[in-house]
Structure 1
């Protein structure tokens, strides 16, 4: 039995807590809201973030960071990137260098343009043992023990295999890689591309146009990953293509829902007020736009999605701009 801490009371943190508890591990989850702590400990439920799901009775919740991290060998962080730095600062006094941190967050921090593992380095130090897992995995389905496969990434194979063994069971199958950057780029950009797919749908464009955007969006994911040192085959795997397919076509996708609303002409402020949530793609597209400027890399679809959300550009104008991009090869041609 492993001692495991989970930071984050949201649906994904709760789903992973349930998975690990069912695998026989001791799980303690840090929650921001006192009422969520109370509901988990007394009713074994989290109706605020994972409604309708009965949690494993062995899962314990706390609002005390020190209590959550004390004696934990594995620390799974499931914090939205926008709030990750502040949570890491709170965790820093309780940090143990022997712990292994597992990144569940998906996105890129604005202004610093750091990925989650890099944020951990900047707050806790580069010597922290870090792993990641990502892939097509809606929280509700994992909590309901539906068949799921993900990618597990670590700097070395032994560490990746250890996390793989921790997670694997008869309904949850992890595959391993050492490509930390490729996994994080795919996990972040699939939310941005999904916003675009939703926009096209909401604006009334047919499946042909949506397939065009999804496929060329995948190409942009590969472009950015390889530019930053990741591998294209990682993006073509579960953490990239797999998660993109699920997020852009799945009925539980918040990014898709918000994209559809934007495409129909609903203002972002009104959408956020009506839904009560900000999908990670909204934050990430702003970081990607900054990253394009910094790295001098052109990602027309990502740029267009940003402009529809944050300028007066319409979906029709975005598509017209894409259709007037210079004609080119589908894939990069190697020089002889």
Structure 2
């Protein structure tokens, strides 16, 4: 395909890829991102705590614990030693659960070369503080550009080479705007690009992080309604109004509403709310079918990010004084023992609002509790 004159000028200053990338976290998504980087031609080393997982990746190019029956590309180095993992790394991807972020950053700090960019690939908001993960990481890793890699991505599909797109976001400095090709966002995007993996570049880290955190909570809501026997009308309404909650939160924190309509917002939200491959959707579905939390996933202790995020999202909403009705409903069911049918009936009977909000009025719902 022939480039237009504008496109030709735009690609004239090509970004230089990072030569060596460290992936911190050897679960399914960490392994998938290591695979993406390796297929893109990078030197890749992955760090993990489990010696058996690390041995399988290093010696047999597989991760049977998290990605069974999936072949990984040759040449991915693997280690349980953080110093070894970060030695010579030009960029780092953190792909560990959001609850462990500060601990992981503290382990990394002594071994990172000055100015090495760090991209967060977990999604969430820090519990209790209500801080975005990027804010928490910046506190622990001063002097390092902090960004995020986020989008509609299931790990297994990514490893299998299904065409996948994601967003790489870092805040842009003055110099990044003068020379975008030298920005961490552009360089990391180029570093991860291959025939099947297509990154987009953003300077709205706040908007990207909000999308990744809130979509997990909305997916639980969709699962609850699906499990309770409701169909596509309900799911479409929850996705759309859930996106509005994401926009509200992002905008109040200095992000852009338009970011939430992109891959890291609408794209990720749609994927996560549409398939029980998502643990968030799956948890909601099981709860909607009447299972108790301890009975879900056949009683296995499965970590569901949206369950954790439902607390941290509400911490953040309370801190900045915004109302997120769907997130509040999910939090009430998961953590306050609220009844699912009653909770969602109350959600549907909230005051009738204008869309768009700029119209600035609402009316009592005739079937609402306060009518």
Contact preservation (8 Å) 2:171, 2:205: yes
Contact preservation (8 Å) 1:262, 1:309: no
1:50 and 2:67 correspond: yes
Residue 357 of structure 2 aligns to a residue whose secondary structure is coil
Deviation at 1:66, TM superposition (A): 0.3
1:137 and 2:153 correspond: yes
Gaps of 5+ in 2: 1-17, 173-179, 361-371
1:107 and 2:124 correspond: yes
Deviation at 1:334, TM superposition (A): 5.8
1:115-194 paired onto structure 2 within 5 Å: 115-125=132-142, 127-156=143-172, 157=180, 158-194=183-219
- Following the alignment from structure 1 to structure 2, what is the Cα–Cα distance between the partners of residues 294 and 132? 23
Q: Which residue of 2 aligns with 1:78?
A: 95
1:37 and 2:54 correspond: yes
Gaps of 5+ in 1: none
State the structure with more CA Rg: 2
1:244-255 paired onto structure 2 within 5 Å: 244-255=269-280
- Following the alignment from structure 2 to structure 1, what is the Cα–Cα distance between the partners of residues 147 and 324? 28
Q: Which residue of 1 aligns with 2:235?
A: 210
- Following the alignment from structure 1 to structure 2, what is the Cα–Cα distance between the partners of residues 103 and 14? 14
Deviations 1:52-104 (A, max 9, x none): 11111200110000000011011111011011111111112212223111111
- Following the alignment from structure 1 to structure 2, what is the Cα–Cα distance between the partners of residues 84 and 269? 26
1:249-288 paired onto structure 2 within 5 Å: 249-271=274-296, 274-288=299-313
Q: CA RMSD in A?
A: 1.4
Residue 75 of structure 1 aligns to a residue whose secondary structure is strand
Deviation at 1:276, TM superposition (A): 3.3
- Following the alignment from structure 2 to structure 1, what is the Cα–Cα distance between the partners of residues 167 and 335? 33
One of 190, 194, 200 as aligned partner of 2:225: 200
* Number of aligned positions between the proteins: 334
- After the TM superposition, which parts of structure 1 deviate over 4 Å for at least 4 consecutive aligned residues? none
Q: Structure 2 length as normaliser, TM-score?
A: 0.87
Contact preservation (8 Å) 2:131, 2:316: no
Residue 194 of structure 2 aligns to a residue whose secondary structure is coil
- Following the alignment from structure 1 to structure 2, what is the Cα–Cα distance between the partners of residues 9 and 206? 36
1:300 and 2:325 correspond: yes
Residue 308 of structure 1 aligns to a residue whose secondary structure is helix
Q: Structure 1 length as normaliser, TM-score?
A: 0.96
Larger CA deviation: 200-209 vs 264-273: 264-273
| Distance change >3 Å, CA 95–CA 28, structure 1 → 2 | same
